[in-house]
Amino acid sequence: MRTRQVSAFLENAPGRLLYLLNTLAEAGVNLIAHNIVDASDFGIVHLLVDEPEQAAEVIRDAGMTCSTTTVLQVTVPDAPGAFVEQVLEPLAAARVNIEYSYTFNAPCAGEARIVLKVDDLERGERALQALA
């Protein structure tokens, strides 16, 4: 249930996420899930990776700031109400506050599912048209 998460602090500028993820990929670190929190001039990228301590070292060696923290990772059925009934209700009953959360689907046939929020949907769609 417990896992280590790496949080990288990046300038909010084009190409910074690309640089971070390329740096990790070149070091052989596999990305499992990510979440980006916008904070105006910078962003915080929360990463679940296969090797969190190695990832943190690689990120620091590349001149970026990062930290690691312990988080909970749970699996629930992909069904309406499962998250509410199996996670939110028990945590609320125990008076446990959720500071933030993000979701990802379990890999299926080697595929990863990623949700992207972009500043220009039309340009984003055109750029990713080959994936459609």
Domain ranges of the chain: 2-131
pLDDT top residue among 117 and 106? 106
pLDDT top residue among 27 and 1? 27
Determine the pLDDT at residue 61.
98
pLDDT in tens, 57-116: 999 999 999 999 888 887 787 778 888 888 888 888 787 888 888 888 766 545 554 545
pLDDT in tens, 120-130: 657 666 676 66
**Contact by Cβ (8 Å): 8, 61:** no
> What's at 64, amino acid-wise?
M
Exposure of 16 in the CB half-sphere (CA atoms within 13 A): 17
Determine the pLDDT at residue 73.
81
Identify the CA nearest to 20 among candidates 54, 83, 64, 72. 64
Determine the pLDDT at residue 121.
55
**Architecture of the domain delimited by 2-131:** 2-Layer Sandwich (3.30)
Number of H-type helices and E-type strands within the chain: 5, 4
Residue 24: band (very low, low, confident or very high) from pLDDT cuts 50, 70, 90: very high
